[in-house]
């Protein structure tokens, strides 16, 4: 292959595992040097590193990416839903990203029409 063909190819993505291995090896070397120099310095550095790691894990913010998105203006539609009043939207327990839409027809006050829909795909199931 020529240089032009290699340049046109996308570069290979680096693995997160490879980066983690490099960090672990560097830390092992640093702690090895500290323990070889002085046992007290190695123990003090280990305690300080563990304290910093625990502090970082406690204070960092948890991502909201696993939470289902808030219900939008779009709601599921089917031929039975025309003219219905939206009662509520709630996340489906046990299924991430799924929402339960409840609507009431104007002529049947004791009836609730329910849709289970994927918040991302817009997929709707009637019940």
* Residue 89 and residue 54 share a domain: no
Where does the pLDDT of residue 22 fall: very low under 50, low under 70, confident under 90, or very high at 90 and above?
very high
- Same-domain pairing of 48 and 12: yes
Structure tokens at 39: 């046992």
Statement to judge: residues 52 and 90 lie in one domain:
no
- In this structure, is residue 12 part of a structural domain? yes
Q: For residue 40, give the 3-state DSSP assignment.
A: helix
Mean pLDDT confidence for 79-89? 74
Average pLDDT estimate for 31-48: 93
Instruction: Give the CA dihedral 56, 59, 60, 65, nearest 10 degrees.
Output: 140
pLDDT, greater one: 82 or 42: 42
Band of residue 123 on the pLDDT scale cut at 50, 70, 90: very low
Q: What mean pLDDT do residues 2-23 have?
A: 72
Question: How crowded is residue 30: how many other Cβ atoms within 10 Å of its Cβ?
Answer: 13
35 in a structural domain? yes
**In the block, which residue shows the tokens 């289970």?**
116
Number of domains in the chain: 2
- How far apart CA 125 and CA 116 sit, in angstroms, is 5
Q: In this structure, is residue 92 part of a structural domain?
A: yes
Q: Which has the closest alpha carbon to 44: 31, 27, 58, 28?
A: 31
User: What's the burial of 100, exposed, middle or buried (CB within 10 Å: 0-12/13-18/19+)?
Assistant: middle
Give a yes or no: residue 72 inside a domain: no
Same domain, 8 and 55: yes
**What's the predicted TM-score (pTM) here?**
0.39
Co-location of 46 and 7 in the same domain = yes
- In a domain, residue 46? The reply is yes
Give the domain range for residue 117: 85-126
Same domain for 48 and 90, yes or no, is no
């Amino acid at each position: 292959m020529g240089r032009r063909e290699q340049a046109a190819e996308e570069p290979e993505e680096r693995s997160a595992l490879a980066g983690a291995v490099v960090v672990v090896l560097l830390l092992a070397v640093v702690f090895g040097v500290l323990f070889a120099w002085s046992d007290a310095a190695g123990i003090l550095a280990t305690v300080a590193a563990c304290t910093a790691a625990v502090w970082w894990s406690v204070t960092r913010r948890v991502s909201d990416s696993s939470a289902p998105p808030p219900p939008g203006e779009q709601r599921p539609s089917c031929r039975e839903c025309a003219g219905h009043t939206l009662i509520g939207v709630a996340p489906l327990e046990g299924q991430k990203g799924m929402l339960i839409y409840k609507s009431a027809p104007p002529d049947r006050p004791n009836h609730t029409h329910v849709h289970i829909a994927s918040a991302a795909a817009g997929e709707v199931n009637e019940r």
